[in-house]
């Protein structure tokens, strides 16, 4: 009986956090390592399902690189590169769309359904969610890679108002009706900004921003976005973290209250970040 009373007290402790985030929109970028370990996958879905049950309004934007690579390999499609950039040729694009919008997306929907959460999978094409155009970095042709020029969240809002949790694959259509692959981090930022989300959470492969690479005890818990340029100049933020932090800063500038970079491999990172004061990764605001 005492065990039960302890559990009751855990619920009571969580009450202020539940009240604080009830009804708030939280966009979750889900991808990377958290997606390849079946157990972690189930735990992330448990966390998202709980958020939904507690009245938080989660929106999932997902990637799926490993699943795409596996299917390309089965079809013996060789990745092609030019000057170090991966080229998304038409065949690769076709497979990318099938895997992301048809397989990964529906699997997430199904895992939420198993937890009695009604969700709906969308791609950037559905309801005209993302309007995109060809992305040509420095004028280079890297194939069917797109950038988002407009984000129309009517379909997302309509689904949320009817109690459905939106699950978004970032594959979109270009202005000539062609399919384009979109970076999922950027897609998550655009959705969070358009929905005036309270939080945007990246479930990433690192514990957050570290002062010393590889040293988890050097985690920087909080960054104000106006400190970002100096941190880049001082090489505190480097390499692959730069575009992620740039994304995060853009989200905050567009009105998202805080952006969190968490380690998707850490158990229940999502819940701990939202339901404790301590937090487990890096928060930008």
- Which residues contribute to the site for a copy of itself (CB under 8 A)? 4-5, 7-16, 18-19, 22, 46-47, 49-50, 53-55, 71, 74-75, 94, 97-103, 105-106, 109-111, 113-116, 118-123, 125-128, 154-155, 158-159, 161-162, 164, 171, 173, 177, 179, 267-268, 271-272, 275-276, 278
Question: Please, what is the minimum distance in Å from the beta carbon of residue 273 to a copy of itself?
Answer: 10
**Is 174 flagged in the annotation as binding?**
no
Question: Please, what is the minimum distance in Å from the beta carbon of residue 39 to a copy of itself?
Answer: 14
Alpha-carbon Rg for the chain, nearest whole angstrom, is 19
For residue 30, the SS3 value is: strand
Distance (Å, rounded) from C-alpha 59 to C-alpha 210?
Answer: 27
Question: Please, what is the minimum distance in Å from the beta carbon of residue 54 to a copy of itself?
Answer: 7
Question: Please, what is the minimum distance in Å from the beta carbon of residue 34 to a copy of itself?
Answer: 15
For residue 238, the SS3 value is: coil
**Is 64 flagged in the annotation as binding?**
yes
Q: What is the DSSP string of 129-185?
A: -EEEEE--GGG---BSBEEEEEE-THHHHHHHHTTPEEEEE--EE-TTS-EEB--HH
HSE value, Cβ hemisphere, 13 Å, CA-based, for 117: 29
Cβ proximity to a copy of itself: between 12 and 233 the closer is 12
Q: How many CB atoms lie within 10 A of CB 255?
A: 13
Run of H or E residues at 74: helix 65-74
Cβ proximity to a copy of itself: between 148 and 249 the closer is 148
Cβ proximity to a copy of itself: between 168 and 249 the closer is 168
**Is 152 flagged in the annotation as binding?**
no
Cβ proximity to a copy of itself: between 91 and 253 the closer is 91
* Pair 58, 165: CB distance under 8 Å: yes
Cβ proximity to a copy of itself: between 180 and 249 the closer is 180
**Chain centroid, CA 184 distance in Å:** 7
**Is 86 flagged in the annotation as binding?**
yes
DSSP secondary structure code for residue 284 in this structure? E
Distance (Å, rounded) from C-alpha 98 to C-alpha 68?
Answer: 9
Question: Please, what is the minimum distance in Å from the beta carbon of residue 36 to a copy of itself?
Answer: 17
Cβ proximity to a copy of itself: between 10 and 80 the closer is 10
Question: Please, what is the minimum distance in Å from the beta carbon of residue 83 to a copy of itself?
Answer: 29
DSSP secondary structure code for residue 219 in this structure? B
Binding-site residues for substrate: 64-65, 86, 181
Binding site membership: which residues? 64-65, 86, 181
């Amino acid at each position: 009986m005492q065990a039960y009373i302890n559990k009751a007290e855990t619920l009571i402790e969580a009450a202020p956090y539940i009240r604080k985030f009830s009804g708030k929109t939280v966009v979750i970028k889900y991808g990377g390592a958290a997606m390849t370990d079946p157990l972690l996958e189930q735990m992330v879905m448990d966390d998202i399902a709980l958020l939904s049950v507690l009245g938080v309004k989660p929106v999932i934007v997902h990637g799926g690189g490993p699943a795409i690579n596996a299917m390309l390999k089965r079809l013996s499609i060789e990745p092609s590169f030019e000057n170090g950039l991966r080229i998304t040729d038409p065949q690769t694009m076709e497979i990318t769309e099938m895997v992301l919008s048809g397989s990964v997306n529906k699997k997430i929907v199904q895992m939420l359904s198993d937890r009695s959460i009604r969700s709906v999978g969308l791609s950037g094409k559905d309801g005209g969610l993302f309007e995109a155009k060809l992305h040509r970095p420095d004028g280079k042709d890297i194939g069917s890679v797109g950038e988002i020029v407009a984000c129309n969240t009517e379909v997302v809002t309509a689904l949320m108002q009817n109690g459905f949790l939106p699950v978004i694959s970032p594959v979109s259509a270009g202005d000539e009706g062609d399919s384009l692959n979109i970076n999922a981090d950027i897609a998550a930022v655009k959705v969070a900004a358009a929905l005036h989300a309270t939080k945007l959470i990246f479930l990433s492969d690192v514990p957050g921003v570290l002062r010393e690479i590889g040293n988890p005890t050097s985690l920087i818990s909080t960054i104000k976005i106006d400190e970002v340029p100096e941190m880049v100049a001082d090489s505190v933020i480097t390499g692959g973290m730069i575009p992620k932090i740039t994304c995060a800063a853009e989200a905050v500038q567009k009105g998202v209250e805080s952006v969190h970079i968490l380690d998707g491999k850490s158990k229940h990172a999502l819940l701990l970040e939202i339901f404790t004061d301590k937090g487990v990764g890096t928060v930008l605001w």
